[in-house]
Amino acid sequence: MPEQHRLIDIIAATITKQAKTQGASRVLSATIKIGELASVTPEVVQACFARADKPGLEDIVLHIEIVPLLGTCAKCQTTVEIDNTLCCRRCGGPYVEIGDHNTILLESCEFA
Ligand SMILES: [Zn+2]
């Protein structure tokens, strides 16, 4: 997989990967959490994504939430929203590493 730095590409790749995992051919909607970035708003991300012309994702309804901080669990490698427990929501491990600020989390996905 080629290195991807652009936020829109990362979002598209994440959704496509999830669709493949589920064996789905069409994605209806996706809810994505993005770690807080300077001047990035849900509206900006949605507008960019709509213009990005990603094959198979043209009609997708994208829900974007900006969250203060995302990290990756050192134990189970899950990307989680860091809350006041500082622990992984999936495995409960206390070793959540604060990711770089491009970290995104695919919260949910709806397939056809
Ligand atoms: Zn974990």
- Whether residue 85 is contained in a domain is answered as no
pLDDT in tens, 79-93: 888 888 889 989 999
Q: Where are the alpha helices (DSSP H) in 23-99?
A: 42-52
Is this structure's pTM higher than 0.85?
no
Strand partners of residue 35: 67
Residue 106 · residue 10 · CB < 8 Å: no
Longest dimension (CA), the chain: 40
- Whether residue 44 is contained in a domain is answered as yes
Residue 101 has pLDDT above 70, yes or no: no
* Domain count for the chain: 1
Centroid of ligand 1 to alpha carbon of 40 (angstroms):
27
pLDDT in tens, 28-77: 999 999 888 667 889 988 888 888 888 878 889 999 998 888 889 999 99
Centroid of ligand 1 to alpha carbon of 51 (angstroms):
35
* 24: CATH: 3.30.2320.50
User: For residue 50, which of 22, 13, 80, 12 has the smallest C-alpha distance?
Assistant: 12
Centroid of ligand 1 to alpha carbon of 72 (angstroms):
8
